[in-house]
């Protein structure tokens, strides 16, 4: 035994260490690969069709030419309706669960329900939307029915992420506020919410990204393959980017090759832009934090 030199066993362990570490690194790098390939392919093959005219004109000639304007507008409508419904509802539910609810069987059941709701496949949500909104409430196939379906589907995301960001606010702040005579709501309004908006916003970002891309839930509830006009209200049907992508990729003959890539590129850019704006806003709010 001399002078702390590596033994044969040490060297073997070190070789294994390097090997394992390398393996994990490769696995991690492989995560980036699909993203890069997807984005690269879309940009490379789709950029030629993108123009202001493409974004702002109607499809023509059996959707083999022209633009995607009604689909773009329709997607914004659907996301808008989904947000207007799911954000207030989700945030309210999360506040109740995090700030008011006692720990009991009911609360546990609600939490379980939320987790299960998040796990329901989107096609099942679609059928639920047809049964509940289109038929039972008699909204017909409309933006309202489709937006509500999307809202139900994304509600768990909003609730879970909001609840987590509420719970990230230190308990000591609540205690301080209560000890000064504040009610629960005053404490939530003045202390808890201002310090968790950035987290709540993250949930909304996630929801938006997911909503923009969903196809199945809107297919039977409010989105149409082709409409020669723009929707005028939530009672109308609409085109949507995601469904339009499906249509031009698989349902329509003689579509020029670049067109579906252009639609996909627009769709993914919309998601990226919305995310970037929200992230920037979040960073701004974080900068204002007082702790």
Partner 1 sequence: MAESRKAAIEVSGLNLWYGDFQALEDVNLSIKHGQVTALIGPSGCGKSTLLRAINRINERLGYVRTTGSIEVHGQDVLAEEVELTQLRKEVGMVFQRPNPLPLSVRDNVLYAYRLHRGGRSSRREEDEVVEGALTQVLLWDQIRERLDHPAIDLSLEEQQKLCIARLLPVKPSVLLMDEPCSALDPEATEAVEDLIWQLRGEYSILIVTHNMAQARRASDESVFMLMGKVVEHALTGQMFVTPKNKETADYIEGRYG
- The residues of the shown chain that bind partner 1, judged by CB under 8 A, are 102, 172-173, 175-183, 186, 190-191, 194-195, 289-291
For partner 1, the closer CB: 61 or 104 = 104
Q: How far apart are CA 157 and CA 159, in angstroms?
A: 6
- CB of residue 100 to partner 1, shortest distance in Å: 11
CB of 202 closer than 8 Å to CB of 280: no
Torsions phi, psi for 66 (to 5 deg): 80, -160
- CB of residue 93 to partner 1, shortest distance in Å: 21
Q: How far apart are CA 144 and CA 190, in angstroms?
A: 34
CB of 219 closer than 8 Å to CB of 243: yes
E strand or H helix at 206: helix 197-213
- CB of residue 176 to partner 1, shortest distance in Å: 4
For partner 1, the closer CB: 98 or 195 = 195
For partner 1, the closer CB: 173 or 225 = 173
- CB of residue 171 to partner 1, shortest distance in Å: 10
For partner 1, the closer CB: 140 or 194 = 194
For partner 1, the closer CB: 21 or 190 = 190
82 Ramachandran zone, left/alpha/beta (phi>0; psi -120 to 50):
alpha
Q: How far apart are CA 195 and CA 170, in angstroms?
A: 10
- CB of residue 201 to partner 1, shortest distance in Å: 17
């Amino acid at each position: 035994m001399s002078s702390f030199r590596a033994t044969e066993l040490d060297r073997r362990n070190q070789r294994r260490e390097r090997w394992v570490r390398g393996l994990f690194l490769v696995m991690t790098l492989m995560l980036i690969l699909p993203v890069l390939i997807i984005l690269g392919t879309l940009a490379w093959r789709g950029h030629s069709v993108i123009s202001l005219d493409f974004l702002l004109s109607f499809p023509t000639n059996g959707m083999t030419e022209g633009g995607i304007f009604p689909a773009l507008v329709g997607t914004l409508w659907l996301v808008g309706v989904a947000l207007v419904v799911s954000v207030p509802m989700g945030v309210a539910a999360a506040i109740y669960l995090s700030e008011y609810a006692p720990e009991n069987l009911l609360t546990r059941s609600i939490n379980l329900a939320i987790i299960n709701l998040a796990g329901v496949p989107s096609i099942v949500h679609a059928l639920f939307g047809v049964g509940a909104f289109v038929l039972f409430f008699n909204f017909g196939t409309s933006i309202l029915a489709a937006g509500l379906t999307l809202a139900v589907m994304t509600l768990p995301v909003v609730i879970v992420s909001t609840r987590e960001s509420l719970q990230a606010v230190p308990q000591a702040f609540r205690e301080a506020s209560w000890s000064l005579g504040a009610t629960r709501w005053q404490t939530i309004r003045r202390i808890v919410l201002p310090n968790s908006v950035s987290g709540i916003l993250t949930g909304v970002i996630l929801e938006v990204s997911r909503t923009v891309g969903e196809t199945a839930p809107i297919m039977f509830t409010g989105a149409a393959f082709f409409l020669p006009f723009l929707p005028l209200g939530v009672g109308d049907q609409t085109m949507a980017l995601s469904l339009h992508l499906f249509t031009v990729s698989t349902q329509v003959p003689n579509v020029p090759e670049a067109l579906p890539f252009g639609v996909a590129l627009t769709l993914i850019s919309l998601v990226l832009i919305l995310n970037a704006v929200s992230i920037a806003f979040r960073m701004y709010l974080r900068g204002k934090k007082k702790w």
